[in-house]
Chains A and B, each alone.
Chain A
Amino acid sequence: MEKKIIPTTIQTLSKSLTGIQGLDEITFGGLPKGRPTLICGNAGCGKTLLAMEFLVRGATLYNEPGVFMAFEETIEELATNVASLGFDLNELIAQKKLFIDHVHIERSEIEVTGEYDLQGLFIRLNYAIESIGAKRVVLDTIESLFSGLSNSNLLRAELRRLFRWLKDKGVTAIITGESGDKTFTRQGLEEYVSDCVIVLDHRISEQSSTRRLRVAKYRGSTHGTNEFPFLIDETGFSVLPITSLGLDYQVSSERISSGIPRLDTMLGGKGYYRGSSILVSGTAGSGKSSSAASFAFSACERGEKVLYFALEESPKQIMRNMLSIGIDLEPLVKKGLLLFHSIRPTFCGLEMHLANMFRAVNDFSPLSVILDPINSFIIGTNEMEAKLMMIRLIDYLKLHQITGFFTSLTLLQSDTEQTDLGVSSLIDTWLLLRDIEIGGERNRGLYILKSRGMKHSNQIREFLLTDHGVELMDVYVGPEGVLTGTARSAQESKESALKLFSKLEIQRKQLEMERKRKAMLAQIELIKLEFEKDEAEALKIISTEQERTLRLAEDREVMGRNRQADAPNIESIEVKP
């Protein structure tokens, strides 16, 4: 079957950028152009602000003037309310970029005396649109009509006509409405405004509130369907489309120092990868913050900006504590390289925290971010949310090539190989700090649990906090197990004593051997001398004996001669010498 080539001239829905941070990303380009959009939510969830920012951004960024028809607030009230967001409505009104019309409807002041229609409203709106050439219109909150007028059938018919008319006018409109029980709005406005529905929500869980935004409906367009947290602060409205990110971020093969020379050696000699995520987990007091500070210090020394989210300590406290191990962070803060951001985990909801962190990262644009510790976010039973939050944060940092350094507190009893937040799979380099209890003392040990994409040491090192920072030492590994601290030094001295002892022993043995050899030689000499003496003596005896025998023979001969003996063989007894 042949596929039909879809002509590229197909008219896709044209959109109107809102200029609101994040919202344009969720809606893939803004609100439907020339159509009405319904924004609904409970009281105080930010409908009016969203609508107002839509107009202000339109007027200032996209040169699209806007009309704000307020049914609930007066112009002065509106101007005051949004002044805190840095919007100067009066200035915009003076520049004819904004037209605010307050429609006052008070039931007690209205007497209905027969047939009527809302043409007056149409005329006012039309006049407002024509007078500044408006492209955007906000009706906030049109449902007030229902409380002011009793004939709801007529109102519905007129609203239908109004939205039709707005479409014909070609203005991009926002209509706000209070949330209803079963319907998006109390009066079921979604029945008339069906192109795009955005739901705002203000939820409180674990005593902290989070604002969320969801695009419930967007006819003719794809859109993010999740609930996205949003913020309202001094720069306006911002939605955070964080879950929409994929895993297609850039990776760097650049290596950065951990701030601990020996640790760099353990990590293939070069340290962490830039843009990777590093987790240091350990029990209380095992030196997590110190290793974080070492990392921060070395990054700042390279002239890189570091953002330090401190969840448990104040910046002053951290600086004081780190000074005690010779890491002076204060000058770095003064230079603007290091920025502390202390947040109380209980201050607001997780989404809000995340939003705040994103904003802080955006504003400061650091190369490294430290979060100390991540467990603080777990309050009550929100472990799942906390994990999701961490995933989003890590994703976000990776996307922006920011090195993330996290610390995690593990409980003594719990399995150390399991982080509380279960984020281990997201972590590239995981260092484990352990307490090693031997010989009545507690020492710190460090090893690398994993480090993706690099050779790394499998050895345990003793982690020492000295006056000049963090140092890693070899631990004693022998038949008696791993020894650290004084046990290690004791063992070391024991060994050196042993060594000395054996050296002496050898010397002694050598000496003894020498002595023995000398003794042996002396004895040999002695025996030789004795032998020589004996020999000499024996020879002497022999010669004496011979002398004597000779003399005897001579004597006998002499005697024989004297006796005139005729024995001829006197030579036969001659003794040979």
Chain B
Amino acid sequence: MNSNNKTSEKNAQNRLSHQSIGDEWVLRLYVAGQTPKSINAFKNLKAICEDKLDGKYEIEVIDLLVNPQLAGDDQIFATPTLVRKLPVPVRNIIGDLSDTERVLVGLDLFQKSISNKLMINQDETI
């Protein structure tokens, strides 16, 4: 892993991070180098966050090849792994996040979106 990648991810992180306080989401994406899987995961995550979290999120990308000592703290054994640090409880989602539904389930967003939809539907029927 070269430093260019790291900086580009840092940039990405900066781009994506918001300073808003409240029900802010803190997500950590662990990758092992710039593999296709890593890139896919990052792309997918960004898309989901943009779609569901409405800017109230922060993504930190950690390249384990650069910072291997961080792998133990979040119990990482597979890559890529997405860790939802906030809101608690901490959730681990592994894989390249291509299965959006499962990602939403993992992030506890699926239920929310369904219930929202249901509520909307109910509103419409009323």
| A116:B95 contact, CB within 8 angstroms | yes
> What CA separation (Å) do A117 and B99 show in the bound complex?
16
> What CA separation (Å) do A264 and B91 show in the bound complex?
82
B93 at the interface (CB under 8 A from A): yes
> What CA separation (Å) do A110 and B106 show in the bound complex?
8
| B92:A116 contact, CB within 8 angstroms | no
Query: Scoring A residues 105 to 135 as 1 if CB is less than 8 Å from chain B, else 0, what string do you get?
Result: 1000111111111111111101100010000
> What CA separation (Å) do A244 and B53 show in the bound complex?
70
> What CA separation (Å) do A123 and B79 show in the bound complex?
10
A149 at the interface (CB under 8 A from B): yes
B106 to chain A, nearest CB (A): 3
Given contacts A119-B32, A127-B68, contact A105 B95 (CB under 8 A): no
A103 at the interface (CB under 8 A from B): yes
Q: How many residues from B make CB contacts under 8 Å with A?
A: 35
Query: Scoring A residues 323 to 358 as 1 if CB is less than 8 Å from chain B, else 0, what string do you get?
Result: 000000000000000000000000000000000000
> What CA separation (Å) do A114 and B80 show in the bound complex?
9
A235 to chain B, nearest CB (A): 32
Inter-chain contact total with CB atoms closer than 8 Å: 102
A517 / chain B contacts, CB cutoff of 8 Å: none
A101 at the interface (CB under 8 A from B): yes
B15 to chain A, nearest CB (A): 23
A528 at the interface (CB under 8 A from B): no
Per DSSP, chain B at the interface is mixed
A293 to chain B, nearest CB (A): 62
B17 at the interface (CB under 8 A from A): no
A103 / chain B contacts, CB cutoff of 8 Å: 75, 77
Query: Scoring A residues 81 to 122 as 1 if CB is less than 8 Å from chain B, else 0, what string do you get?
Result: 000000000000000000001011100011111111111111
Given contacts A123-B64, A123-B68, A124-B68, contact A116 B76 (CB under 8 A): no
Given contacts A113-B96, A113-B98, A149-B78, contact A119 B72 (CB under 8 A): no
B105 at the interface (CB under 8 A from A): yes
| A120:B96 contact, CB within 8 angstroms | no
B77 / chain A contacts, CB cutoff of 8 Å: 103, 105, 118, 120-121, 124, 145
Most buried by B among A103, A104, A115, A149: A115
B73 to chain A, nearest CB (A): 10
> What CA separation (Å) do A114 and B37 show in the bound complex?
9
B26 at the interface (CB under 8 A from A): no
- Checking B68, B79, B106 against A117 with a beta-carbon cut-off of 8 angstroms, the contacting residue is B79
| B78:A123 contact, CB within 8 angstroms | no
A158 to chain B, nearest CB (A): 9
Q: Which residues of B contact A (CB under 8 A)?
A: 30, 32-33, 37, 40-41, 44, 64-65, 68-69, 71-72, 75-82, 91-100, 102-103, 105-106
Between A and B, 27 residue pairs with Cβ closer than 8 Å are: A104-B75, A109-B91, A111-B91, A111-B105, A112-B102, A113-B100, A113-B102, A116-B37, A116-B79, A116-B80, A116-B81, A117-B78, A117-B79, A118-B77, A118-B79, A119-B64, A119-B78, A120-B32, A120-B76, A120-B81, A121-B77, A123-B32, A123-B64, A123-B68, A124-B71, A124-B72, A127-B72
Query: Can you name 16 extra interface pairs (CB under 8 A) apart from A114-B97, A116-B79, A123-B68?
Result: A111-B103, A111-B106, A112-B99, A113-B95, A113-B100, A114-B98, A115-B37, A115-B40, A115-B95, A115-B96, A116-B95, A120-B30, A120-B32, A120-B77, A123-B32, A127-B71
Identify the 9 closest CB pairs spanning chains A and B, nearest first: A111-B106, A114-B95, A114-B98, A127-B68, A119-B32, A114-B96, A113-B95, A120-B76, A121-B77
Q: Which residues of A contact B (CB under 8 A)?
A: 101, 103-105, 109-124, 126-127, 131, 145, 149
